[in-house]
């Protein structure tokens, strides 16, 4: 068990890649903090709650802490980290996975949607990293894994909205610059993105007519890649942005 005795925080773990990642850490022995907004099935049209994920982690024999968290809000993020340290005493891995996207062209994008998308993706990544870093620095170890997208740098028609694209591009720059900042504390900071579509509740919602059988499952590459990056320190792989399939091939995951 690669993460026995370790503590991982996964944002956006009520469903999708975040939930699969949280369960992946638990299977490898970690205690896991499940941070997202949905607490009950009635709250949102998409399935999945933080408590359901936490229950599945406990069923694997690990400790789980479900914390209602809005990653765009400073107070909420600080409280999530405070509760993590109160319950588990340390933070070994932070996965900045929470995201939203809206499919619209710039000319048709209301400013409040632009703000929401950039806030959840980019501000959330900043706020959660800033909140987790003091504990990691005190430990002189830790790993931050940011989730990007092919939307950050793929040319051609963009169907996902430019707010999402530029937020993910900024996350990649944040990743390699932050890695330099925390190098001396033995903390790794990396990013990973899927090679294409991954079958999740969020993606099915936006693409109801797609052929889901052609999409990757989170467990195919993303979870394996995130766990590998979560095990790094600054002495290993840091400051890098990987496509999930490439990472799995290079390191034979
Ligand atoms: N699936 C793909 O094909 C694909 C492709 C490229 C990149 N990605 C990236 O992979 C990651 C996961 O994607 P996914 O498809 O699994 O997404 P998803 O199914 O839509 O799940 C998104 C998660 O983010 C959480 N979230 C949204 N707003 C939040 C907020 N303000 N505070 C806290 N949590 C929030 C949601 O939880 P609540 O609603 O409960 O808060 C949910 O758990 C994202 O970073 C995404 O950009 C996915």
Q: Provide the edge-to-edge strand list for the sheet that holds 7-11.
A: 64-68, 31-36, 7-11, 93-96, 142-147, 187-193, 241-243
**pLDDT value of residue 159:** 75
**pLDDT value of residue 155:** 79
Q: Is 126 in the pocket of ligand 1 (CB under 6 A)?
A: no
**pLDDT value of residue 157:** 67
Average the pLDDT over 105-111 and give the result. Answer: 93
Q: Is 225 in the pocket of ligand 1 (CB under 6 A)?
A: no
CA–centroid distance, 98 to ligand 1, in Å, is 4
Q: Is 119 in the pocket of ligand 1 (CB under 6 A)?
A: no
Percent of the chain at pLDDT above 70?
A: 99
Model pLDDT for residues 170-191, shown as the tens digit of each residue: 999 999 999 999 999 999 999 9
Probe residue for ligand 1, chosen from 202, 203, 223, 242 as the CB with the greatest number of ligand atoms within 8 Å = 202
Probe residue for ligand 1, chosen from 12, 195, 222 as the CB with the greatest number of ligand atoms within 8 Å = 12
What is the CATH number assigned to the segment(s) 7-250?
3.40.50.720
Atom number, ligand 1, closest to the C-alpha of residue 71 = 32
Does the pLDDT value for residue 20 go beyond 90? yes
CA–centroid distance, 97 to ligand 1, in Å, is 6
- Give the residue whose CA is nearest to atom 1 of ligand 1: 198
- Is 231 in contact with 143 (CB distance < 8 Å)? yes
What mean pLDDT value characterizes the chain? Answer: 96
Q: Report domain extents, the chain.
A: 7-250
| Active-site residue flag, 164 | yes
**pLDDT value of residue 114:** 97
Between CA 240 and CA 237 the distance in angstroms is 7
The catalytic position among 150, 164, 205, 251 is 164
Distance from first CA to last CA of the chain, Å, rounded?
15
According to DSSP, the residues that pair with 7 across neighbouring strands are: 31
Average the pLDDT over 90-108 and give the result. Answer: 95
Model confidence band, residue 206 (pLDDT cutoffs 50, 70, 90): confident
Does the pLDDT value for residue 19 go beyond 70? yes
């Amino acid at each position: 068990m690669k993460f026995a005795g370790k503590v991982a925080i996964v944002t956006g773990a009520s469903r999708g890649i975040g939930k699969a990642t949280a369960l992946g850490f638990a299977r490898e022995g970690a205690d896991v903090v499940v941070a997202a907004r949905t607490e009950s099935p009635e709250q949102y049209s998409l399935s999945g709650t933080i408590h359901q994920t936490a229950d599945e982690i406990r069923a694997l024999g690990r400790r789980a802490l479900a914390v209602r968290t809005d990653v765009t809000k400073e107070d909420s993020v600080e409280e999530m980290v405070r509760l993590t340290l109160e319950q588990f005493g340390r933070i070994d891995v932070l996965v900045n996975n929470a995201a939203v996207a809206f499919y619209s062209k710039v000319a048709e994008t209301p400013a409040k949607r632009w703000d929401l998308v950039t806030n959840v993706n980019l501000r959330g990544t900043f706020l959660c990293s800033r909140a987790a870093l003091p504990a990691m620095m005190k430990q002189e170890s830790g790993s931050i894994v940011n989730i990007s997208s092919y939307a950050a740098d793929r040319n051609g028609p963009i169907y996902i909205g430019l707010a999402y694209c530029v937020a993910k591009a900024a996350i990649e720059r944040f990743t390699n610059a932050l890695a330099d900042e925390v190098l001396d504390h033995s903390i790794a900071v990396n990013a990973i993105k899927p090679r294409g579509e991954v079958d999740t509740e969020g993606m099915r919602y936006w693409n109801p007519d797609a052929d889901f059988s052609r999409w990757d499952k989170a467990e195919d590459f993303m979870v394996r890649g995130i766990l590998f990056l979560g095990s790094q320190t600054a002495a290993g792989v840091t400051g890098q942005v990987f496509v999930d399939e490439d990472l799995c091939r290079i390191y034979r995951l």
